Chains A and B, each alone.
Chain A
Amino acid sequence: MADVDRVSYRVGETVILDDVTVSFAPNRFNVILGPNGAGKSTLLKIATGLLEPTSGTVCYGDRRVGDYSAPALARKRAVLSQRVELAFPLDVEDVVLMGRYPHYGRTPSRRDREIVSRSLELVGMTAKRGQQYPTLSGGEQQKVQLARVLAQIWNYDEPREPKYLFLDEPTTSLDVHYQLHLLDVARGLLDYDCTVIAILHDITMALQYGDVFFLMENGRVAHEAHDAAGIPVELVERVFQVRASRVTDPADGQGLWRFSL
């Protein structure tokens, strides 16, 4: 359970988050939606513990985020960003190994290396493990980052500990194949005591993959919905300043949105 309790964030006079309280659903794909400037990124950063709110608290389970030591926090939650700049010629394997840094001191154990292999397998990059990271395509690089992030929160034979995977618009600038692959993998984690909290820019993708939706507007959570159908059309139209209509896919009954200005 990740709980954000009465969190505000101010920079000088500007209020970016205004008294936000949310409870992210455990073992579910939580999606934060909203237009640019609504405060999504800030909320996510505060939820990861990387940014201190001006007021309010964030708790994982019954423990405040601030009470975790940096390595312990790193073992609890991982963050996948939009694009990670890595200009140095590290091997793919070495990049994924970084995910295990919070887990070992000087030398990685055999289990650490196994986890690296399993993570690479999961994202389908095993064949390229010895290749240099900068030579990969954008989509492949992001898969490697995902593998790293998976390795970071992987704990497969410890007692089932809740983990959190934060995704900060990780599919921006990826083509559709990589987008789907990445989100598939993320969804797969839900069966392993992992809570996913994501910001996705593509509303259709978001609705397709998400379980729980938080619609933000002007620093507040305007609406919380526990299924895609539960999002009011008028709200979407107001928040995003578009005309929206919901369509049902005859093939599987899935809801799809159509937008126009």
Chain B
Amino acid sequence: MPSRIPLPPRLAATIVAACSTIVLLAACGRQGDRHARDAQERRIVSVSKQINEFIFAIGADDDLVAVDLTSIYPPEIRKLPTVGYHRALSAEGIVSMKPTVFLTDGNVGPDAVLDQLKKVGIPITVMDPGSTVDSAQMLLTHLGEFFHREQAADSVLAQWKAGMTQLWADTANWAGESRPRVMIIHFGQIANNYLAIKSGSIPDRMIHWAGGQNAIDSVGGMLRLTPELIARAAPDIIIATDVGFDRFGSAEKFATLPGVALTPAGRNKRIYRINEQKIMYYGPRTPAAVRELHAMIHP
């Protein structure tokens, strides 16, 4: 299993390059390979929505030949073919795109797919976004180096950092205000049910910056919702991600979800919709996203 610990950029790039070369050598049994030599012809298959958003942000999308099903931002990305859902990939489908590199954040399934790609000789690059804004920004830098678009990356990064600085300033102001209880409700398509975001996760941090407090105390990823859970959490505000919200269509209808009507959020109809991709990971859109959240929390 590839390492999930983010490494210093130079070291990471060196290791990646070394591994790719070794794999290619092993596959061909010869020195050098026409794929690696042909630096012009890069065909990247990337199956992480965060990485793909960054790639488009730095203008490196020319090299992309295929993405995964959940990569839908920015809208132009939909023109690219997909190799399926990132946790249900098929090695053959990926290989048929003739990638020079398979790029991932490490979250792929089934587990055997990476092994199969290695067997066939496809180089794999894993870039872990980590769990902090800093590590996400480092990911952007890595991508800049990887795609030789360092300048574009630097410029996006600068903008992002400036946005974050501005955001911290505002957050400091907002800290004085009251902190309503906020619950973020996500819709899990695989298990077909609603989930609440727990403390410590990225959306939770954004809520905190936006001036709210997570109505769910427990730490972790996501929690399956039950009416009791919702009632006990008693959120003042509910923010639902797009897919889950759209299943009902409006705040009034969403309030009919069992347990929601009894909460302060349900009674006061303080139910809002936000695009999932803005809050599930850190990116250049984070400052705007946090402001959007703030507007919902303190209108």
**Do A and B share a direct contact in the complex (Cβ within 8 angstroms)?**
no
